[in-house]
Amino acid sequence: MRYAEKPNHKKSIESLANLPICRIFRLARACSRLTIKHLHACDPGVTPMVPGSCEESRMAMRLNDRSVRKLMATATRRRDVWDTVLPGFGVRVSPGGECSYVVRYRVNGRLRRMTIGSRKHITLSKAREAAHDALGAARFGKDAAAEKIVARKAETFAELAREYIERHAIKKRSAREDIRILNGSPHKKKTGKKPHEPLVIRWGNLKVKEIKRRDVRDLLDEIVARGAPIMANRTLALVRKMFNFAIERDWLDSNPCQMIKRPAPDRQRQRVLSEEEVRAVWKALDEEHPIIAALFRIRLLTAQRGSEVHGASWEEMDLTTGWWTIPGERSKNGLDHRVPLSPQALRILKDLRNITEKSKSKSKWVFPSTRKTGPHINHAQKAIERIVKRSGVEFRGHDLRRTAASLMVGAGVPRLVVSKILNHVETGVTAVYDRHSYDQEKRSALDFWGRRLEAILANKRDAKVLTFEARR
């Protein structure tokens, strides 16, 4: 009986009734195994259907160059035609004669569709291979369509920058600096230098593969000519990491930063404030907001990094025992760091706590933002500029940490103890086996530093001869 004929259901049922029950079961099992390919082979005049949205879009046939050209010539409206050889592979044709190869599959129970490419740009055999790969990947839970979207987004440097920040840079302590180099600083500084052009503006619309070694060299030469060789070094380091990031994700085959040397040697800043300059800066803090003044005084008394002080919360502070525990996620080396609080530091923190508790918004931060620009104070660059102008002392925030460390070592505090206070990572065999906490030594050193700082501020003659004696 041909499928085109109208079936005689009554006759068919009567014939089935005369068959043995085992034969009926075998026929039912065989019918359940029929596929589109089998039905099409039984009768070429029949067009089997694949589940879809409408009857015309559910057509299926053996796709070859001849059948695809015929579909393009006879299309009256857009429709999808699926291949009977490779289930899931098909073509989408439009009345205008446009034809694209598509593939659909399921990943984690979700039906997915991916456009492989236009017939103008890819052959049928290549499209079938791509569909076969996508279907094979789906069996292992991989979504080829999602991966294609990610790869397409990464074609431009702007998209690569976005992916790098979201997936990699945001986890680093240098994320703020990376974002500034890529997107520019939101804070406009009035300087005589030519402003730095963000990389996203310079290279944003360029394809990542189009950026060559010459482009990187031209960029670095311009930064050096602008009088910022250290910035050129930082830019090179960032760009090199970004292109390595792209290589790991198969967006690039090679790094254009290879064989490019740093434009200038890194110059370590050696600025250490004198005792007279310390007094001038400390006095200038009296005219600042109490939170700002406490911030810089704690930085000088504890010798900790600016970011660690700025982001301190009251949960980290134990004002009863006099310990400040910096969690590993906020420390540079990723380890918890215990900082003993000298009597001078405790006095400042307790006064600050009284101020913050009386305010309407009881912040969990020790140094909450005074301008409502964030949860806590970040860089405090404007405050530094005011203090410099008022005191007449040129300094940066990190110079306070270096000054505290230098004056402690100069007064007899062992270098190893100062290193433990600064939370520096030590290398060597001894460092591997040394598991001493140095808590007592750090407390003795910072208590001494607090007393010595008081003597310096009071301009006492014995400030220079006040030496450290280790507590036993």
- The residue-averaged pLDDT of 414-431 equals 81
- Tokens 């990572």 belong to residue: 425
pLDDT in tens, 206-230: 888 889 999 999 999 998 888 888 8
**DSSP states along 89-142:** EEEEE-TTS-EEEEEEEEETTEEEEEEEEETTTS-HHHHHHHHHHHHHHHHTT-
Q: How far is CA 261 from the centre of its chain?
A: 26
**Residue 371: predicted pLDDT:** 73
Please tell me the predicted confidence (pLDDT) of residue 51: 40
Q: Is the pLDDT of residue 94 over 60?
A: yes
- Split at pLDDT 50, 70, 90, the class of 347 is very high
Give 453 or 375, the one with higher predicted confidence: 453
Q: Is the pLDDT of residue 40 over 50?
A: no
Lowest mean pLDDT among 19-33, 54-68, 127-141, 376-390: 19-33
Say whether pLDDT at 375 is over 90: no
Task: Give residue 303's pLDDT.
Answer: 93
Distance from C-alpha of 451 to C-alpha of 13, rounded to nearest angstrom: 106
Backbone angles phi, psi at 439, to 5 degrees: -60, -45
What is the pLDDT at residue 49?
38
Cα separation, 384 vs 404, whole angstroms: 18
**Higher-pLDDT residue of 24, 413:** 413
Of 173 and 370, the structure prediction assigns the larger pLDDT to 370
Q: What is the pLDDT of residues 109-153, one digit of tens each?
A: 888 888 888 888 888 899 999 899 888 888 888 888 777 666 565
Tokens representing 69 are 């050209």
CA distance 430 to 51: 71
Q: Which helix (H) or strand (E) holds 415?
A: helix 415-422
Lowest average pLDDT, out of 83-97, 225-239, 375-389, 422-436, goes to 422-436
122-126, 164-168, 257-261, 419-423 — which is least confidently predicted? 164-168
Q: Where are the beta strands (DSSP E) in 283-336?
A: 317-318, 323-326
User: What's residue 374's pLDDT?
Assistant: 67
219 neighbors 231 (Cβ within 8 angstroms): no
- Mean of pLDDT over the chain: 80
Mean pLDDT of 23-29: 63
- Note the pLDDT of residue 415: 92
pLDDT value of position 113: 86
Structure tokens belonging to residue 149: 């979207």
- 60 has which bridge partners? 82
Q: Which residues contact 392 (CB under 8 A, 6 or more apart)?
A: 280
Show the tokens assigned to 218.
């031209």
Rounded to 5°, the CA angle 6-8-13 comes to 145
> In the chain, what are the domains?
50-153 (3.30.160.390), 157-248 (1.10.150.130), 275-463 (1.10.443.10)
The sign one gets for the Cα dihedral 289, 290, 295, 299 is positive
Query: Which of these ranges, 26-30, 55-59, 269-273, 376-380, has the smallest mean pLDDT?
Result: 55-59
